[in-house]
Amino acid sequence: MTKENLSTIRDIHQFEDKTATLQGWVQNIRTSKALVFIIMRDGTGLNQCIVAKDDISEEIWEKANSLTQESSLRLKGEVKKDERSVGGYELHVRDLEIIQLAQDYPITPKEHGVEFLMENRHLWLRSQRQWAAMRVRNQIIFAIHQFFQKEGFIQMDSPIFTGNAAEGTTTLFETDYFDEKAYLSQSGQLYGEAMALAHGKIYTFGPTFRAEKSKTRRHLTEFWMIEPEMAFYDLEMNMDLAENMVIFIVEEVLKNCRNELDILGRDVSKLENVKGPFPRITYTEAVELLTGEKTAALLDSMERSNMDELDSIKKEVPELEAEHGQAKKGRKFQIDRRLKELRARREEVEENLRNIPVWRKSAMEKVWGDDFGGSDETLLTMHFDRPVMVHGYPSAIKAFYMKRDPNDDKVALGVDMLAPEGYGEMIGGAQREDDLDLLLERIKEHNLDEETFKWYLDLRRFGSVPHSGFGLGLERTVAWLCGLSHVRETIPFPRMLGRLTP
């Protein structure tokens, strides 16, 4: 088969009422006596292709009938506009070439458990929701580069093999570097500080590693972080930059990823709320909010709505089960689907009801000096319709490099940005300690090896200036914008506790 008029599905509109050739994979296939309906995917979109027995030779008709899910093929035919069809166009097939016939593709249209899907991640990536999430991820990456480049930042690559910790020694992946101890980078920040004193404003965009033993929906062991670092920026300017960056990313995703967000079922009105200024509260105010009446009322209402939902599920399930016996085939299918949905939802609701008392205890017992856990962050974000910045954390729970508040030694000039709808921390940043003696003190306090920080201390010896920066976690940003409940679906091949393959 010739490749004349080769098109992608995305550009097929250019071939309306003309002949076009598409190449891709069978996403779905339906056959009847005289017609074969192929939903084809080619990476740019989905298109319905119709093979009519009367229009083609016996040989092609047989080929069409032998097709299976995920077989690769090339199709040629006439492009007709059709509003009702996926993508808005149909291909009326005249010629068909099978490139490879797939046998027993493991991911069928029926539902699969997440563990099975994770084992088949290399294939799962072809599914529509995964496809959409990866496109949003790509848009976010592009928007981040656009934002920093237009703001005059220089992109830098920081090393992945490092000799020192940046974010606490408990989460380091150790490796052997020709008989020397080396660690996989937890953060490019310290190197970013060096480059900021050479270029003014820089950002890193690279993989970072944390040996986090926590199995949560927010933690990966390998994730991508974007870390801007700016000379002559104080904490306030740092927060302004973080806010502007997030607003820009959200705008670009809303502008360019409508179709993807639609596939993901994302409530875009929630993203449309994300406008400046973002609320900024101190850590002290955050503790007051967590222990105060507003959070108590929020937890009560969460508990009530979960209990109501459980009641209604408990009522609907037996009703549907009773109906199932007499139902016709189509209705049976609907009922099965709904029952599956309800059972999954029931598990979630019951888990919420088990969690709420734990969350309540954690929030209510919070005292100044405690760190926030995942549930505390979730609750905090629920008081706001856009990201909230919490600043001025207790210095004792924050990294060694953070500058202390000149008016209160117990407070560090650090900031976290928490994403709304319960997503929690997506940015951590700070104004850096720029005084040599104070930084030396912190290194000692944190039991860090002064020798390995020798080069870093030089930055305070030779033209030290006030400077600040932050780190944005890419996967948490993707999870939030896509409305995904777990970071495992935000990166092509996630690395987490207990997962190294595929």
Burial of 137 (0-12, 13-18, 19+ CB in 10 A): buried
CB 305 within 8 A of CB 382: no
Is 209 within 8 Å of 165 (Cβ atoms)?
Answer: no
Phi and psi of 230, rounded to 5°?
Answer: -130, 125
The partner in contact with residue 387, picked from Mg ion, ligand 4AD, none with C-beta cut-offs of 5 to 8 angstroms by kind, is none
Nearer to ligand 4AD, 220 or 481 (CB): 220
H or E element in which residue 23 lies: strand 19-31
Q: From the CB of 444, what's the least distance to ligand 4AD, in Å?
A: 20
Q: Are strands 404-405 and 408-412 parallel, antiparallel or unpaired?
A: antiparallel
Using an 8 Å Cβ cutoff, are 462 and 454 in contact?
Answer: no
Token output for 354: 């088990």
Q: Which of residues 386-425 bind ligand 4AD (CB under 6 A)?
A: 425
Of all residues in the shown chain, the one whose CB is closest to Mg ion is 428
Decide which of Mg ion, ligand 4AD, none touches 187; Cβ closer than 5 to 8 Å per partner kind. ligand 4AD
Of 78 and 236, CB closest to ligand 4AD: 236
Quick one: which of 84, 477, 112, 482 has its CA closest to 265?
482
DSSP 8-state class, residue 35:
E
3-state secondary structure 136-196: HHHHHHHHHHHHHHHCCCEEECCCCEECCCCCCHHHCCEEEECCEEEEECCCCHHHHHHHH
> Which residue in the set 475, 478, 480, 483 belongs to the binding site for ligand 4AD (CB under 6 A)?
475
Tokens of 38: 């192929």
Q: How far is the C-alpha of 114 from the C-alpha of 489, rounded, in Å?
A: 10
Residue 469 touches which member of Mg ion, ligand 4AD, none, C-beta under 5-8 Å by kind: ligand 4AD
Nearest CA-CA partner of 71 in 126, 118, 115: 126
Is residue 220 involved in binding ligand 4AD (CB under 6 A)?
A: yes
Q: Of the candidates 394, 428, 483, 494, which one interacts with ligand 4AD according to CB under 6 A? A: 428
Q: Where are the beta strands (DSSP E) in 381-462?
A: 388-391, 404-405, 408-412, 414-419, 424-431
**Rounded least distance, CB 467 to ligand 4AD, Å:** 11
CA angle 177–179–180, rounded 5-degree value: 60
Tell me if 108 sits within 8 A of 70, measured CB to CB.
no
Residue 473 near ligand 4AD by CB under 6 A? yes
| Residue with smaller CB distance to ligand 4AD, 392 or 471 | 471
HEC letters along 337-397: HHHHHHHHHHHHHHHHHHHHHHHHHHHHCCCCCCCCCHHHHHHHHCCCCCCEEEECCEHHH
Figure out which of the listed residues 76, 135, 210, 266 binds ligand 4AD, where binding follows CB under 6 A.
210
Nearer to ligand 4AD, 20 or 389 (CB): 389
Q: Closer to Mg ion at the Cβ: 428 or 494?
A: 428
Say whether residue 187 binds ligand 4AD (CB under 6 A).
Answer: yes
**Which of Mg ion, ligand 4AD, none is residue 87 near (CB under 5 to 8 Å by kind)?**
none
User: Is residue 12 a contact residue for ligand 4AD (CB under 6 A)?
Assistant: no
CB of 425 to Mg ion, least distance (A): 6
By the 8 A CB rule, do 286 and 372 touch?
yes
Query: In the complex with ligand 4AD, which residue's Cβ is closer, 39 or 225?
Result: 225
Q: Measured from the CB atom, is 42 or 376 closer to Mg ion? A: 376
Contact region for Mg ion (CB under 5 A) — 218-226, 289-297, 373-381, 422-430? 422-430
For ligand 4AD, which residue of 64, 75, 136, 426 counts as binding (CB under 6 A)?
A: 426
Q: Which does 476 bind (CB under 5 to 8 A by kind): Mg ion, ligand 4AD, none?
A: ligand 4AD
Q: Is 151 in the site for ligand 4AD (CB under 6 A)?
A: no
Question: Applying CB under 6 A, which part among 308-316, 360-368, 403-411, 427-435 lies near ligand 4AD?
Answer: 427-435
For residue 277, whether the previous peptide bond is cis, meaning omega lies within 30 degrees of 0, is yes
Q: Which stretch binds Mg ion (CB under 5 A): 140-148, 154-162, 226-234, 420-428?
A: 420-428
Task: Pick between residue 37 and residue 173 the one whose CB is nearest to ligand 4AD.
Answer: 173
How big is the chain, counted in residues? 502
Q: Which of 398, 464, 402, 460 is nearest to 430 (CA)?
A: 402
**Binder among 55, 78, 212, 234 for ligand 4AD (CB under 6 A):** 212
CB of residue 188 vs Mg ion: minimum separation in angstroms? 15
* Touching ligand 4AD, residues 223-252 (CB under 6 A): 223, 225, 227
Among 45, 428, 469, 483, binds Mg ion (CB under 5 A): 428
Number of residues that bind ligand 4AD (CB under 6 A): 24
Nearest residue to 252 via CA among 133, 155, 149, 144 = 144
- The answer to whether residue 166 forms part of the interface with ligand 4AD (CB under 6 A) is yes
| Cα-based distances in Å from 189 to 112, 229, 485 | 40, 7, 28
What is the contact surface with Mg ion in residues (CB under 5 A)? 428
Query: Where does this chain bind ligand 4AD (CB under 6 A)?
Result: 166-167, 187, 189, 210, 212, 219-220, 223, 225, 227, 425-430, 469-471, 473, 475-476, 487
